[in-house]
């Protein structure tokens, strides 16, 4: 009777041992794929975090560029309004302005020829103006300075200089004779300005 009871206990213990071994085997069979899947997920999460950080950096750069483009458009409009003339009122503003500069500098300009470009570049229409001026050297210099410091944008593309001095050059000059720089100058200025629409 005792032997039979021990035999049953051994069988029960063996059965429990087999069940424990089967459980351990199942655990190992399921643990390896779960572990590899966990490691893959961890790597994927790390990669995604890096991609999110790179994406945020790109978004910051794009937002900065967008703000710069907005500022650029605003600066462009301000530059157009401050340094160029509207196409509709262009000649009615430019020609009197050149006339006033000539009067302030003390030079005479008889006429102004201009060439108007009908196709805009970068939103600006180029206007080429030929301005002949006559006056003393300091007056001509003042006129050129007026052009350079004008709020309206003027380019001086060419200057054709001719002297029209009344005094004749001689070997000896009297003390009252004007110096060579005091003679009258006749200038042909090739100017360029721009109109915006």
Tokens 């950096």 label which residue?
57
Average pLDDT value for residue range 7-12 = 82
pLDDT for residue 139 is more than 60: yes
Listed by start position, the domains of the chain span 1-83, 87-166+182-196
Phi-psi region of 185 (alpha: psi -120 to 50; beta: other; left: phi over 0): beta
Integer Cα distance of 123 and 125 in angstroms = 7
Confidence (pLDDT) at 52: 92
Domain boundaries 87-166+182-196, CATH class: alpha beta
Q: Per-residue pLDDT tens for 54-82?
A: 999 999 998 888 888 878 777 777 777 77
CB 111 within 8 A of CB 132: yes
Both structure tokens of 170:
């001689």
CB atoms within 10 A of CB 158: 10
Report pLDDT digits (tens) over 148-196: 888 888 888 888 887 655 434 433 443 433 444 456 888 888 888 888 8
At residue 192, what are phi and psi to the nearest 5 degrees? Answer: -140, 135
């Amino acid at each position: 009777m005792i032997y039979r009871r021990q035999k049953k206990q051994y069988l029960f213990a063996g059965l429990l041992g087999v069940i424990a071994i089967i459980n351990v085997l199942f655990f190992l069979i399921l643990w390896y794929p779960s572990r590899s899947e966990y490691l893959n997920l961890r790597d994927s999460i790390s990669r995604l975090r890096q991609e999110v950080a790179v994406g945020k950096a790109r978004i910051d750069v794009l937002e900065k560029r967008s703000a710069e483009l907005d500022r650029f458009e605003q600066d462009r409009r301000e530059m157009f309004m401050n340094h160029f003339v509207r196409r509709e009122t262009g000649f009615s503003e430019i020609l009197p302005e050149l006339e006033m500069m000539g009067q302030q500098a003390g030079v005479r300009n008889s006429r102004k020829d201009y060439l108007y470009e009908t196709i805009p570049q970068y939103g600006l229409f180029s206007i080429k103006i030929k301005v002949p001026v006559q006056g003393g050297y300091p007056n001509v210099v003042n006129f050129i300075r007026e052009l350079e410091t004008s709020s309206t944008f003027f380019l001086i593309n060419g200057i054709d200089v001719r002297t029209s001095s009344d005094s004749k050059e001689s070997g000896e000059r009297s003390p009252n004779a004007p110096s060579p720089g005091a003679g009258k100058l006749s200038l042909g200025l090739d100017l360029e300005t721009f109109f915006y629409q």
